[in-house]
């Protein structure tokens, strides 16, 4: 009986599954599937998609318990060995189950139980009938049809993406032309070059840029990390493009460009497409539909896409001929995944480059201190771009306004108001930059100093006057504005603090003739709202922009000559040791917004600490001076990059099990005789979040190896602890904040 089953299914497959368990699972199969193939298997009472990670002739599992796979998907291209080994490394390093790590790195379509069909895209052109026809044969009111016809006439073949750029109603217009019998179509790769954009202009590189490109090229066949350090406007993107041009020319090789999780991908994509039109390019980011994502991922996997521009997750995209990795804005915090497997895409990219023996370029105006440190000690090559590519533009003048010494009106200092007035008179634009944190208005009782709290989080509710409600920015809880103080009965409650809405009202009062635009999460919630707003700024329809982080990067506003920074103190006084350097990076970036064309820019910063060395460094746009100061502090305080950290985070409905669990973890860790320092469990800044009581345990060591060895022993012990099912917990290696 058993023998018969064995004969029917002679092969044993090692299958990884999306379950929070260590190890892989054995299944029988009647075909010898190769590693990297997808299978559907029975798992307990349900079916699961798994990935074959290997084959065997025997299994440790009793034959009676061994099940057979339900089906396999061998028509799909198999995952390569590099994919497995990179995710194995990450699963180990970040203390995350291997199967879950593997499955999470796949496009969602490949985690579903159906065979995955990538969307097929087409390109279109005019056939003989169409070419013989003329524009005048189309009714004048059929604007879309006429536009498509003209474009096809001019460019020959167009992709769907090109047509979509002509008009949102292109499908209907094209269908009408098709109906006339004018159109031919053929399936293409979505990522093939854009014809509309192809205008390959080769700009001159300056000496620094050429040096950077040549340096990387000289060691193009070995693992070599480079820090490309260049201030805003110094032409980092041009360096990337020239480098890729040289690396990809005359071969079938591939390059990966990682970008932060912001809406800048389209701009970068357009630049790469027009500058490198001869190479097929795909993007991988969260705005793609699942079918597009699968298609682009497949193009990367098969090697058809020569350039992949993608966010965090695309660091895992299989690329058989990968020869170079670029990490743009490498300091950006969005490279760190903040749930499930808490990997850092920049660090994973470094590991990947090392294993492939290829160069990797990390670009930033304000590098992460770890990166800067590595460049200083010679582990990374340092490539500096000091000149601004737009030569006539000058560095902005940076001035501090001591808010404890000057007259203030509703959060605005007199010098700032004056400066705004001057720009208004000159017809120039201004930007008021707000750090949301210190600027959210709260509901305060003047009698007993009660402040409306969130019931589910240890945070304060934010007043939204327009909607007449109080809202928690952490959990989304919303309630009506209370009229009476629940603590002392005082009926006189006031919103205090200067929200973006309040600030807008104040400005309208002070500068009634100014056209003001507020750009924040509330005002850009509608789709495309941000694009429309940016367009309005470019068109000169706006005098004063009020905005948060969103405005710090990306677009150039040539007529913008003043940047006012309203709140710096909440970051300067924050207990989080990374808060000041994030503020510095932000200010470097906003300062870059001012005076980018031929007009001199001015940056006015309101602060109570005008003497802070951060502002001096900012004044000279001197990252190096700032970084060396901070690095000294870090070395004395024994913080990263001199020490390595890991954090166990835990949460539950009550604190008791959290406390118990973390206490156990701390004791277990200490008993291991590791050189690592194990702190006591503490409560984080945000003690309660979404109704969950939180706690955390910090561990610190002078090398990654020591920390890794500790975690390798500790995590299984934590998993085996009875409380581990009663609390939600995870391990965060190299945490960004705590």
Partner DNA sequence: AGCACGCCGACT
Partner DNA sequence: GTCGGCGTGCTC
Tokens, residue 605:
């910063």
SS3 label, residue 442: strand
State the sign of the Cα–Cα–Cα–Cα dihedral 472, 475, 477, 478: positive
The site map against DNA for 696-725 (x = CB under 7 A) is: --------------------------x--x
- The residue count for binding DNA (CB under 7 A) is 21
Short-list 621, 641, 619, 620, CA closest to 630: 641
Short-list 510, 245, 215, CA closest to 375: 215
- Known binder of ligand: residue 445? yes
Q: Which span (16-24, 115-123, 222-230, 648-656) binds DNA, by CB under 7 A?
A: 16-24
The site map against DNA for 17-56 (x = CB under 7 A) is: --xxx-x-xxx-------------xxxxxx----------
Short-list 591, 247, 632, 162, CA closest to 393: 591
Q: Which span (13-21, 146-154, 359-367, 672-680) binds DNA, by CB under 7 A?
A: 13-21
φ, ψ of residue 383 to 5 degrees: the values are -120, 115
CB nearer to DNA: give 19 or 176: 19
DSSP state of 460: B
Closest distance of CB 15 from DNA, Å: 8
Distance CA 49, CA 348 (A): 25
Tell which one of 61, 406, 508, 686 touches DNA (CB under 7 A): 61
Q: Is 64 in the site for DNA (CB under 7 A)?
A: no
CB nearer to DNA: give 61 or 108: 61
CB nearer to DNA: give 23 or 115: 23
Closest distance of CB 510 from DNA, Å: 53
Closest distance of CB 312 from DNA, Å: 22
- Known binder of ligand: residue 454? yes
Strands 359-364 and 224-230: parallel
Distance CA 565, CA 343 (A): 33
- Known binder of ligand: residue 475? yes
Say how far residue 719 (Cα) sits from the centre of its chain: 30
Closest distance of CB 313 from DNA, Å: 19
- Known binder of ligand: residue 485? yes
Closest distance of CB 718 from DNA, Å: 12
Closest distance of CB 314 from DNA, Å: 24
Q: Is 339 in the site for DNA (CB under 7 A)?
A: no
Q: Which span (65-73, 103-111, 310-318, 359-367) binds DNA, by CB under 7 A?
A: 65-73
Q: Is 483 in the site for DNA (CB under 7 A)?
A: no
- Known binder of ligand: residue 469? no
Sheet with 359-364: list strands edge to edge: 281-284, 307-310, 254-258, 322-328, 359-364, 224-230, 381-385
Closest distance of CB 114 from DNA, Å: 17
Short-list 597, 706, 727, 614, CA closest to 661: 727
Q: Is 297 in the site for DNA (CB under 7 A)?
A: no
Tell which one of 11, 35, 40, 59 touches DNA (CB under 7 A): 59
Distance CA 322, CA 514 (A): 52
Sheet with 544-547: list strands edge to edge: 397-402, 602-607, 560-565, 429-433, 544-547, 516-519
- Known binder of ligand: residue 457? yes
Closest distance of CB 21 from DNA, Å: 5
Distance CA 128, CA 183 (A): 9
Closest distance of CB 647 from DNA, Å: 18
C-alpha dist (Å) from residue 140 to 112, 135, 145, 727 = 47, 9, 9, 67
CB nearer to DNA: give 111 or 613: 111
- Known binder of ligand: residue 400? no
Distance CA 469, CA 463 (A): 6
Do residues 170 and 163 make contact, with C-beta atoms less than 8 angstroms apart? yes
Tell which one of 65, 480, 525, 527 touches DNA (CB under 7 A): 65
- Known binder of ligand: residue 488? yes
Closest distance of CB 41 from DNA, Å: 7
CB nearer to DNA: give 91 or 152: 91
CB nearer to DNA: give 399 or 719: 719
What are the residues whose beta carbons fall under 8 Å from the beta carbon of 702, sequence distance 6 or more?
Answer: 642, 643, 644, 675
Which amino acids are annotated as binding site for Zn(2+), given as ranges? 445, 448, 454, 457, 472, 475, 485, 488
Site residues for DNA per CB under 7 A: 19-21, 23, 25-27, 41-46, 59, 61, 65-67, 722, 725, 728
Known binding site: residues?
445, 448, 454, 457, 472, 475, 485, 488
């Amino acid at each position: 009986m058993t023998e018969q089953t064995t004969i029917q299914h002679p092969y044993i497959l090692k299958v990884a599954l999306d379950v929070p368990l260590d190890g892989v699972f054995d299944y029988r199969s009647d075909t010898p599937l190769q590693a990297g193939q997808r299978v559907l298997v029975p798992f307990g009472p349900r079916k699961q998609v798994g990935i074959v990670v290997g084959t065997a002739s025997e299994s440790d599992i009793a034959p009676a318990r061994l099940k057979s796979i339900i089906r396999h998907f061998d028509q799909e291209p198999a995952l390569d060995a590099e994919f497995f080994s990179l995710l194995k490394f990450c699963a180990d390093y970040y203390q995350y189950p291997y199967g879950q790590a593997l499955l999470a790195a796949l496009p969602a379509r490949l985690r579903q139980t159906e065979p995955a069909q990538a969307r097929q895209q087409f390109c279109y052109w005019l056939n003989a009938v169409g070419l013989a026809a003329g524009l005048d044969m189309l009714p004048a009111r059929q604007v879309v049809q006429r536009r498509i016809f003209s474009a096809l006439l001019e460019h020959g073949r167009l992709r769907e993406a090109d047509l979509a750029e002509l008009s949102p109603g292109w499908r209907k217009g094209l269908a009408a032309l098709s109906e006339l019998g004018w159109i031919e179509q053929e399936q293409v790769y979505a990522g093939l070059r854009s014809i509309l954009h192809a205008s390959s202009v080769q700009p001159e590189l300056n000496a620094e840029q050429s040096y950077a490109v040549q340096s990387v090229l000289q060691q193009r066949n070995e693992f070599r990390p480079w820090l490309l350090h260049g201030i805003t406007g110094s032409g980092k993107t041009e360096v990337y493009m020239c480098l890729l041009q040289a690396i990809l020319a005359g071969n079938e090789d591939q390059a990966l460009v990682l970008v932060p999780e912001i809406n800048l991908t389209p701009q970068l994509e357009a630049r790469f497409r027009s500058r490198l039109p001869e190479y097929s390019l795909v993007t991988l980011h969260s705005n793609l539909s699942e079918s597009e994502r699968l298609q682009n991922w497949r193009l990367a996997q098969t090697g058809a896409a020569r350039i992949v521009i993608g966010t965090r997750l695309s660091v895992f995209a299989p690329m058989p001929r990968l020869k170079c990795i670029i990490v743009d804005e490498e300091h950006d915090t969005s490279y760190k995944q903040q749930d499930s497997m808490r990997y850092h895409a920049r660090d994973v990219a470094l590991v990947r480059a090392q294993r492939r023996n290829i160069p990797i370029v990390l670009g930033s105006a304000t590098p992460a201190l770890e990166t800067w440190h590595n460049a200083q000690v010679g582990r990374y090559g340092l490539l500096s771009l000091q000149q601004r590519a737009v030569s006539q533009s000058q560095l902005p003048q940076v001035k501090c306004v001591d808010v404890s010494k000057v007259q203030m009106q509703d959060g605005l200092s007199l010098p700032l108001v004056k400066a705004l007035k001057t720009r208004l008179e000159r017809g120039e634009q201004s930007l008021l930059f707000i750090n949301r944190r210190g600027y959210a208005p709260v509901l305060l009782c003047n009698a007993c100093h009660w402040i409306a709290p969130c019931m589910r989080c240890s945070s304060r509710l934010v007043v939204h006057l327009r909607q007449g409600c109080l809202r928690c920015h952490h959990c989304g809880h919303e309630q009506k504005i209370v009229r009476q103080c629940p603590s002392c009965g005082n009926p006189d409650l006031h919103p205090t603090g200067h929200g973006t809405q309040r600030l807008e009202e104040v400005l309208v009062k002070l500068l009634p003739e100014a056209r003001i635009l507020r750009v924040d999460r509330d005002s850009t919630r509608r789709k495309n709202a941000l694009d429309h707003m940016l367009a309005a700024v470019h068109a000169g329809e706006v005098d004063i922009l009020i905005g948060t982080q969103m405005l710090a990067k990306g677009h150039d506003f040539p007529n913008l000559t003043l940047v006012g920074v309203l709140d710096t103190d909440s970051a300067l006084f924050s207990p989080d040791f990374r808060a000041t350097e994030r503020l510095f990076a932000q200010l470097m970036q906003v300062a870059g917004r001012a005076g980018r064309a031929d007009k001199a820019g001015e940056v006015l910063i309101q602060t109570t600490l005008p003497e802070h060395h951060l502002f001096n460094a900012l004044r000279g746009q001197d990252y190096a001076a700032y970084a060396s100061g901070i690095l000294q502090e870090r070395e004395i305080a024994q913080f990263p990059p001199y020490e390595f950290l890991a954090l166990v985070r835990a949460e539950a409905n009550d604190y008791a099990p959290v406390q118990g669990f973390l206490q156990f973890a701390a004791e277990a860790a200490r008993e291991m005789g590791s050189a690592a320092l194990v702190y006591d469990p503490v409560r984080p800044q945000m003690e309660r979040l979404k109704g969950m009581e939180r706690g955390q345990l910090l561990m610190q060591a002078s090398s990654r190896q020591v920390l890794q060895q500790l975690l390798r022993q500790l995590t299984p012990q934590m998993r085996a602890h009875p409380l581990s099912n009663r609390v939600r917990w995870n391990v965060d290696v190299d945490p960004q904040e705590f």
